[in-house]
Amino acid sequence: MRTLRLALIGVLTLALVQACGKKEQNQNDSSRPVIGVSLLTMSHSFFQDLSKAIKAEAEKQGFDLIMVAGEFDPARQQNQINDFIVKRVTAILLCPTDSRAIGTSVKKANAAGIPVFTADIAVLAEGVSIVSHVASDNYQAGRLAAKAVLEAIGGSGKIGIIDHPEVESVILRTRGFMDELNEQREKNGVEIEVVSRLSGGGVKDKAFKAAEDMLQAHPDLDAIFAINDPSALGVVAAIEKAGKSARVRVVGIDGMPEGRKAVRDGKIYAEILQHPQDIGRRAIQAIAAYLSGEEVPPKILIPTSIYRQEDAKKDPMLATAK
């Protein structure tokens, strides 16, 4: 028993030492600025691409990184920022888990003289200072999505939206979507009616259920706009289950590999591509510029683009990854 116990203690200590030791060497090098990064999550290919781009650009600029994720928990992210402040990082880059609740932490970083930047999701709390916010132009993405829907179903029809209204970026997307629809309605006289708007929580399983209900309630639906890829894929599954693949068109926003594949296979009509690589790169560049005393614009918007079946067929990402 005692040997077992000792072995267990040994293994646990090793696990801790391994985990903590790995990052240790390069952090003691005080000649490189350390950037504390807290993302929304790591379990979404958007944020994985974002984090890769952040790592690559940080390497180029000579920054060390501490990269963690709040995993949708505002309290956890608050703790991570408090730890950054104790660590005295040179700058902080955030994707807030909650645009308001993060305010108290940002205030603390401000008081400690640590400049704060945000990527993808903005801070909406009052009385805090954010040097620069780098994000997809979500409003423009929403407008593009509306264009894609019109393109898919022609001048008239009934559509539904799978929403996730808790998140600021999604609010902008749906606002852009509605503005474009209204504009088209006035200008070109298209007769598009949004008959249903349900929350899919931004995740596949909930979007699937929401889309199922939507299809039940509105059997004559022509298209569904899903505010991100997991939602769009959930919608596709619901449409397939209802046997309505021929009738109902889907438009999503994101450009995850799985979403792109669905576009290639004709299951999703079009995706509005975000470019997380550009967001990550520009965010780190903004930090570097600011630290060397350059003026940085308070908002850096990264444009999105429409991605249709013909784009998917030429997409190198799909040629290599099946």
Partner 1 sequence: MRRIQILSDYGMPGVLLLLCLFFSVVTLEEQHPEGEDAANRVAPKIAQQVPQDRPLVIVARPTLRDQAFARTAKALLQERGYRVLAVIHGEPPVIRLRLQALADSAAVPAALVTVPDFRLPLQSIQTRIPPLAQIPVIVPDSYRWPTFLLRDNLINVVNQIVVIAIIAIGMTMVIITAGIDLSVGSLIALSAVIAARLIAGMGGTEASTLALILASFAAILACGGLGMLSGVIITRFSVPPFIATLGWMLVASGLAYIISGGQSIYAIPDRFVWLGRGTAFLGIPNAVVLMALLYAAAYVLMTHTVLGRYIYAVGGNPEAARLSGVRVQRILVFVYTVSGLMAGLGGIVLASQLKSGAPTYGLLYELYVIAAVVVGGTSLSGGEGKIMGTLIGALIIGVIQNGMNLTGVETYTQKVVLGLVILGAVLLDKWRSRG
Residues contributing to the site for partner 1 (CB under 8 A): 1, 4-5, 8-9, 11-13, 15-17, 19-24, 27-28, 30-33, 42, 65-69, 71-75, 78-80, 82-83, 85-88, 90, 97-101, 103-104, 111-113, 115, 125, 131, 165-166, 199, 290-296
Of the pair 77, 138, the CB lying nearest partner 1 is at: 77
Q: How far is the CB of 215 from partner 1 (least distance, A)?
A: 23
Q: How far is the CB of 66 from partner 1 (least distance, A)?
A: 4
Task: Report how far apart, in Å, the C-alpha atoms of 225 and of each of 1, 5, 137 are.
Answer: 61, 57, 17
Distance CA 140, CA 264 (A): 23
Task: Report how far apart, in Å, the C-alpha atoms of 140 and of each of 137, 201, 233, 250, 301 are.
Answer: 5, 22, 22, 18, 10
Q: Which two tokens stand for residue 136?
A: 């997809």
Nearest to 33 by CA among 78, 76, 110, 88: 88
Largest CA distance in the chain: 81
φ and ψ of 131, to 5 deg = -65, -50
Residue whose structure tokens are 């709040």? 70
Of the pair 78, 140, the CB lying nearest partner 1 is at: 78
Of the pair 18, 188, the CB lying nearest partner 1 is at: 18
Termini Cα distance of the chain: 50
Q: How far is the CB of 132 from partner 1 (least distance, A)?
A: 12
Q: How far is the CB of 84 from partner 1 (least distance, A)?
A: 8
**The dihedral of CA 307, 308, 313, 314: what is its sign?**
negative
Of the pair 131, 236, the CB lying nearest partner 1 is at: 131
Of the pair 50, 268, the CB lying nearest partner 1 is at: 50
What does 138-165 look like in DSSP terms, one character per residue?
A: HHHHHHHHHHHHHHHHTTEEEEEEEE-T
Q: How far is the CB of 128 from partner 1 (least distance, A)?
A: 11
Q: Report the SS3 class of residue 230.
A: helix
Of the pair 27, 156, the CB lying nearest partner 1 is at: 27
Q: How far is the CB of 58 from partner 1 (least distance, A)?
A: 13
The amino acid present at 84, given as its one-letter code, is F
Of the pair 134, 152, the CB lying nearest partner 1 is at: 134
Q: How far is the CB of 43 from partner 1 (least distance, A)?
A: 9
Burial class (CB in 10 A: 0-12, 13-18, 19+), 62: exposed
Q: How far is the CB of 152 from partner 1 (least distance, A)?
A: 29
Distance CA 296, CA 115 (A): 12
Q: Contact 131/286 with Cβ under 8 angstroms? A: yes
Nearest to 273 by CA among 314, 313, 304: 304
Of the pair 90, 305, the CB lying nearest partner 1 is at: 90
